[in-house]
Amino acid sequence: MHDSPDAGSMASPARCRLRFDRILLVHPLGYRADAASSDIARLAGIMPPIGLASLAAWLETKGIEATIIDAYARPDAPDLIRERLLADRPAFMGMSCTTSGFLDAVRLSAVAKAILPGIQTVVGGAHVSALKTSALDGFPDIDFAVVGEGENTLAKLIDGGWEQPAAIPGLVYREKDGAPRYTGPLTDLIELDTLPFPAYDKLPGYPDAYRLPIFNYPRAPNTSCVSSRGCPYACSYCDRSVFGRSFRFNSAEYMLAMVRNLHERFGVRHINFCDDQFTFHRKRVETFARGLAESGLGISFNCAARAEHLDEDLLRTMKAGGCWMISMGVETGDPELLARHRNHADLDRLHDCIAAIKRAGIRVKGLLMMGLPGETTDSIQRSMDYVFRLPIDDISLTKFTPFPGSPVYSGIHEHGDFTEDWERMDCMNFQFIPTGMTREQLEKLHQSFYRKHFLRPRIMWDYTTMIWRSPDSWRRFWTNAGSFLRFARNPRRLAHAAYRDEIG
């Protein structure tokens, strides 16, 4: 590692004062400032950027110092970014980009270059992994994009590779004339058990600045973890550009060590596994759950799973290990619509599986979408009928958004009206209106779906039981009751305008 680049044509005086062994990693805000519920989203839950924490930990093993600023957890992020840039003078700034966060990253790049001339900016994450060279087209303030798994590519880039980027696989860089060029996919993927644990300690305020969505956990402090990369399924709405369709995973032993570390260092008492297919490898989940039960740590966990990868035996073992909630991708309860968008769609099997989860004593959350291509008022009605027959406890109903890289994206205009406004593609806006429907209809049905769900006596009682099953959730709810109620009355008033104003 060196403090300044080798002498050469790239080395300007400004560059020479930069620290080439440092990077500032930023998690941009993934919501428009004027988007409904940006503040409410913060109140309802803030989850750590695990990708950035993983990159930071990996870079440290290579002698590169990484600082993280998470605009989600820190409303004062613009000030913090300025402070860190001036104090640390990093030669690189890296940003993690979903589609809705990408333009924020573009703005932050311009700001960083104005503050610290010569700094080089790098983006990674879902949006740029899907778009590759077109992620840099028209955005001159971004110098590099990392496609897919970021650890090795970023380390090589910082460790002198920026001078000859064509030699680094998994990278989009600029030719001399500024044209973006992709070096091709990364083939040498990391064995996940060799990764250091994510650097949660580099997230300012961790663990208290972070919390899972209310009513999604029994205890605090809590956190998110990830223990696998990739998903073998190919659902129409899901972008697999980052980790592809293989399934790589941490061993149960690694998972147990990670959980123990979180508990001992930060007092974490509940973990939400964000894996796409947590139970895909049955044996490791069994070993993990048994190990957790034997550990005596008293830690509980949530995960997401598919019906094909759960059974009564496994559920009993998971429960004994502390499994508190399983999220099941239902997507829609309309069988024809589901078959059009998802592999192995079988609503009867899903119903039976959810009943089995409940019998095991585990809470169930259904993950749903509204507005998929082919959606009609009838299909939404059928979806409600199905969902309200499920023995489910909670739902999350997102507004379908066609993301670049998802199978449905390329032909989306054949199925309705799509306004590709990236900043609004945060699953909280209907940017796609299926043929035959209107935005007003979708909005109305979206509200009605939620209202009907919450007003069922069984669900109201379930939330009441959270007084003793998740007391911290109720504490947060009452502490912020004013904001929640104001949001219910007028979502736009709660816009987090200050952030956007500050970064221009």
Q: Which residues bind to ligand B12, rule: CB under 6 A?
A: 27-28, 30, 47, 49-52, 54-55, 72, 94-96, 98-101, 122-127, 146, 149-151, 154, 224, 226, 238-239, 242, 274, 276, 403, 426-428
Q: Taking the complex as a whole, how short is the minimal distance between the CB of residue 435 and ligand B12, in angstroms?
A: 23
Q: For ligand B12, which is the closer residue by CB, 266 or 388?
A: 266
Classify the C-alpha dihedral 139-142-143-145 as positive or negative: negative
Q: Taking the complex as a whole, how short is the minimal distance between the CB of residue 242 and ligand B12, in angstroms?
A: 4
Q: Taking the complex as a whole, how short is the minimal distance between the CB of residue 55 and ligand B12, in angstroms?
A: 6
Q: Is there a contact between 455 and 1 (Cβ–Cβ < 8 Å)?
A: no
Q: For ligand B12, which is the closer residue by CB, 127 or 341?
A: 127
Q: Taking the complex as a whole, how short is the minimal distance between the CB of residue 59 and ligand B12, in angstroms?
A: 10
The pairing of beta strand 90-96 with beta strand 19-27? parallel
From residue 218, give the alpha-carbon distance in Å to each of 50, 187, 291: 21, 40, 20
Q: Taking the complex as a whole, how short is the minimal distance between the CB of residue 147 and ligand B12, in angstroms?
A: 9
Q: Which runs of E-coded beta strand occur in 208-310?
A: 222-225, 228-229, 248-249, 270-273, 300-305
Residue whose C-alpha is closest to residue 269's, from 314, 324, 226, 215: 324
Q: For residues 333 and 341, give the distance between their C-alpha atoms in angstroms, rounded to a whole number.
A: 12
Q: Taking the complex as a whole, how short is the minimal distance between the CB of residue 93 and ligand B12, in angstroms?
A: 8
Edge-to-edge strands, sheet with 90-96: 65-70, 19-27, 90-96, 120-124, 144-146, 171-174, 180-182
Q: For ligand B12, which is the closer residue by CB, 151 or 472?
A: 151
Any idea what DSSP says for residue 274? Answer: -
Residue 144 in 3-state DSSP?
Answer: strand
Q: For ligand B12, which is the closer residue by CB, 126 or 384?
A: 126
Q: For ligand B12, which is the closer residue by CB, 94 or 416?
A: 94
Q: Is there a contact between 446 and 399 (Cβ–Cβ < 8 Å)?
A: yes
- Read off the tokens for 19: 């620290």
Is residue 239 exposed (0-12), middle (13-18) or buried (19+ Cβ within 10 Å)? Answer: buried
Q: For ligand B12, which is the closer residue by CB, 129 or 317?
A: 129
User: What are residue 497's phi and psi, to 5 degrees?
Assistant: -70, -30
Q: Taking the complex as a whole, how short is the minimal distance between the CB of residue 102 and ligand B12, in angstroms?
A: 8
- Read off the tokens for 187: 């083939």
Q: Taking the complex as a whole, how short is the minimal distance between the CB of residue 231 and ligand B12, in angstroms?
A: 7
Instruction: Give the helix/strand (H/E) hosting 87.
Output: helix 77-88
Q: For ligand B12, which is the closer residue by CB, 149 or 334?
A: 149
Q: For ligand B12, which is the closer residue by CB, 335 or 407?
A: 407
